[in-house]
Amino acid sequence: MSILDARSKQLRRSVIRMVEADKRGHIGPAMSLIELLRVLYDSYLNVNPRDPDWQDRDRFILSKGHGCLALYAILADKGFFSEDEFDNFCKPTSFLGGHPERGKAAGVEASTGALGHGLPIGVGMALSAKIRQKKHRVVVVMGDGETNEGSVWEAAMSASKHQLSNLIVLVDHNKLQSYGPTYEVLDMLSMKDKWTSFGFATCEVDGHSIENLEKLFDRLPLDINKPTAIICHTIKGKGISFAEGQPSWHHKSGLKASDFEAMYKCLE
């Protein structure tokens, strides 16, 4: 797995800053997403922070809504809202909640958190764009544990049937769910083979390698007649050594000053 550069570390500090405001949050699921979202917003998605509802923008849906700390970090970095809002995370007056909500935080396309909903929403958006002959793309990021949901595969079949090449699915394959390894909770066997069998053009990538992600996104769509699924191999808690690969860091509450000091120290 790739070594983190200064920008990836800074985005992780933003995540920690938000958790520090409320002393709780989904730390592990956010840390595995940083590089995926960074490259999407730096190099791929056509969006405008000054006009978040621009009609021709690309649509991004974070289906694993519990990873929203990473999304908030990159949206603020891109200027959708001020980083000062980080200090209000999960406060009653804040628009940054424990799961993202459309209509509150600028740049959030869908309210997610109940798993298995993001892809069906994305399929609807991509099909609508195809019918109206619009050029924008739809990107959905899912968790690997989320693929236990049947609604995911119903949506996948629909996407394949309608040849939605404007739909890109990124699976954050960190191999851990909230309480254990994915292969123990409900083994999906080969994630790549699964998506291929449902009619997607499919590939795998190191989800923390900026270089590999950028090269891959330059090739999209993988097939002009199929939706794309990218299996992104990641590490839950990436960058926080004592949280990496630990299900207990899926969500943490009651964190103390010493915990935050240790997290920040990992990113020095």
What's the pLDDT at 188? 81
Q: Is residue 17 part of a domain?
A: yes
Which has the higher per-residue pLDDT, 183 or 219?
219
Q: Is residue 190 part of a domain?
A: yes
Q: Is residue 172 part of a domain?
A: yes
CATH number of the domain at 247, please: 3.40.50.970
172/143 Cα distance (integer angstroms): 5
Residue 187: which pLDDT band, with cuts at 50, 70 and 90?
confident
Q: Could you tell me if 147 and 173 are in contact, meaning their C-beta atoms sit under 8 angstroms apart?
A: no
Segment 109-117 shows an average pLDDT of: 95
Q: Whole domain around residue 65: which residue ranges?
A: 6-266
Q: Is residue 1 part of a domain?
A: no
Average pLDDT across the chain, whole number: 96
Q: Is residue 168 part of a domain?
A: yes
Q: Is residue 122 part of a domain?
A: yes
159/166 Cα distance (integer angstroms): 10
Segment 258-266 shows an average pLDDT of: 97
Q: Can you count the helices (H) and strands (E) in the chain?
A: 10, 9
143/106 Cα distance (integer angstroms): 23
Q: Is residue 155 part of a domain?
A: yes
Segment 113-118 shows an average pLDDT of: 94
Q: Could you read off the pLDDT of 147-180 as tens digits, one per residue?
A: 999 999 999 999 999 999 999 999 999 999 888 8
96/87 Cα distance (integer angstroms): 10
User: 3-class secondary structure for 233-258?
Assistant: ECCCCCCCCCCCCCHHHCCEECCCHH
The number of domains in the chain is 1
Of 98-112, 183-197, 222-236, the least confident = 183-197
What's the pLDDT at 1? 59
Q: Is residue 90 part of a domain?
A: yes
Q: Could you tell me if 143 and 64 are in contact, meaning their C-beta atoms sit under 8 angstroms apart?
A: yes
Segment 108-134 shows an average pLDDT of: 97
